[in-house]
Amino acid sequence: MNNGYVIKIGLLGIIVFFACDALGIEDTLRTMKYSSRSPEAAIQWQEEVRSKLFGLLKLDDLIASKTDNPLNSKEIHTEDKGAYFLKEIEINSTPGRRIRVFVTIPNKSSAPWPAVVCIHGHGGQSLTVYDKDSPYYGFADELASDNYVTIAGFVSQHEVYEEGMILMGERLWDLMRCVDYLESLKEVDNNRIGCAGLSLGGEMAMWLGGMDTRIKATVSAGFLTNMDHMEQDHCMCWKFPGLRTLVDYADIYALTAPRPLICQNGLKEPPSQFYVPLAREALKEIEPIYKDMGQPGNVQLLVHEEGHVVDIPSLMKFFKKQLKPIETI
């Protein structure tokens, strides 16, 4: 082969590389796929994957400068809902952006309480998770009425708010700031904070539970699947450069181990959506790290008889066991 031919092939490779990069096509997939190893090595794997993902999400600087970004919370409105108070609160997300969240506090004197970050999906609003006449079946209201502090923000935007950020990074960061706010409340037991969501909310519960170790228990409803499936007929807001090169969803869920995780998928979900057989295959790739860490019973797929909804009984049973409301301690 002459040098001219080598140069042509090299240039062609460069052109193909940049074309694939521009189109979001990744030539090597899932280089950090989890495989069974010792508990110590599993923790090291988690730390390495989190570090790489925080970089891809463009959150490194915000995490490093967190102490320079006080919440500066401001109460906008309070409503007495009987079993709890519903408060609208404004806090700093970043030094240049403020967000509004809704927080519920049990209408009782005993505290501190367990708390849950409640996350809506596409087309939802912050308060959607409290709506009983929705696919969420008002799971946040159920928790709030059962002596949990709850917090709900807005994550279904499809615009990037600040220069230098990416969509999934901003969504995750806003949820992490919700956890910061919960930790600032005297009414909250910081050792009993969980998260739950449906659809995009289930995806964000996966991200929050995996990336923020302050989350002690996670319910991810209507989302467990794989990235190949999400490439077809789904909103592509989940995807960002470098993600598929590094992991698949099972690996992000694996970051939750050994903390308790329950995924919910409905039997009425069609093959094009969050299909139970795909969820079962994904679960098989999450289970090994829980076994390696000595907690195989801490991960579960709950298959229910409905479709793209939250299964309230299993969610409430899970949080009652894992976060233990005050009367059960």
Q: What is the pLDDT of residues 13-46, one digit of tens each?
A: 333 333 444 444 456 899 999 999 999 999 999 9
Task: Give tens-digit pLDDT for 73-111.
Answer: 999 999 999 999 999 999 999 999 999 999 999 998 788
Spatial distance between the Cα atoms of 111 and 183, rounded to a whole number of angstroms: 13
pLDDT averaged over every residue in the chain = 91
Sequence ranges of the domains in the chain: 1-28, 31-328
Torsion angle, CA of 99/102/108/113, rounded to 10 degrees? -70
Q: Nearest 5°: CA angle at 319, between 262 and 42?
A: 45
Which pTM was predicted?
0.90
Q: Please determine, for residue 10, whether its predicted confidence score (pLDDT) is greater than 80.
A: no
Given a cut of 60, whether residue 5 has pLDDT beyond it is no
CATH superfamily, domain at 31-328: Alpha/Beta hydrolase fold, catalytic domain (3.40.50.1820)
In this prediction, residue 6 has a pLDDT band, given cuts at 50, 70 and 90, of very low
Q: By C-alpha distance, which of 95, 115, 97, 96 is closest to 105?
A: 115
**Sheet strands (E) in the chain:** 74-80, 84-94, 97-106, 113-119, 149-152, 188-198, 217-221, 261-266, 299-304
